Amino acid sequence: MPRRRLRFVVSAGPTREHLDDIRFLSSPSSGRMGFAVAAAARRAGHEVVLVAGPVSLPDPPGVRTVRVVSALDMRVAVLAAFRRADALVMTAAVSDYRPARRRAGKWKKGAARLSLPLVRNPDILAEAGRRRGRRVCVGFAVEVAAPLRAARGKIRRKHLDALCLCSPEAFSADRADYRILFPDRELERYPWIRKGAFAGRLVDLVEELAARG
Ligand code: CTP
């Protein structure tokens, strides 16, 4: 059977939450997983919008790549593309908090000790999940201690079809241990798999979930 051409939105990389014009809070996410998913979806014939935080990877060929910096920017770009999409794959390591205030220029040092007020960023995936209708929604989470219960809670709270759990090496290595959790079926294990290979599996999964409707 020919594949149905789907419209994918994929997010990738970290976000940067600026304290001033130079410094920021962020994470070491390389963006490689999201770029691999975007490229695999494109190769499979789908239309892809890739919303990427600051990473050093080039735009994948044939993919509309939107470059953003902060979680607030990412939210606007992802939700705009999501409106006319069939599937969202949210691999981005979105910063949960941002400094309450961004200072202009360079923040000069002063006191020996400093507290920094932070405010919560919106949860982009949860927001998309609430208005998903029949769209497919897949999330990612880095796995630490006792992850399964927390992961099942995230699937429910964010209205996901699947949540990919990865080991912490996923931030820096080309391979990692991945597991896919579902609301309604057995988990799938992909030990020490290359990100490119896992991306291919995810595209197949999204096609399957979209066909189920
Ligand atoms: N995510 C998001 N917006 C945020 C935080 C996370 O869209 N502000 C997405 C991530 O891209 C990922 C999924 O939610 O696909 C899970 O991220 P994670 O940080 O594990 O979830 P949180 O809900 O932030 O839970 P925790 O308190 O464990 O950090």
- pLDDT tens string 1-50: 557 999 999 999 999 999 999 999 999 999 999 999 999 999 999 999 99
Report the number of secondary-structure helices (H) and strands (E) in the chain. 5, 12
What is the distance in A from the centroid of ligand 1 to the CA of 95? Answer: 8
What is the distance in A from the centroid of ligand 1 to the CA of 111? Answer: 33
Predicted TM-score (pTM) above 0.75 = yes
Amino acid at 208: E
Q: For residue range 55-113, list pLDDT tens digits in order.
A: 999 999 999 999 999 999 999 999 999 999 999 999 999 999 999 999 999 999 999 99
- Coil, strand or helix at 199: helix
| Structure confidence at residue 147 (pLDDT) | 75
Sign of CA pseudo-dihedral 196, 43, 39, 205: negative
Query: How many CB atoms within 10 Å of residue 53?
Result: 26
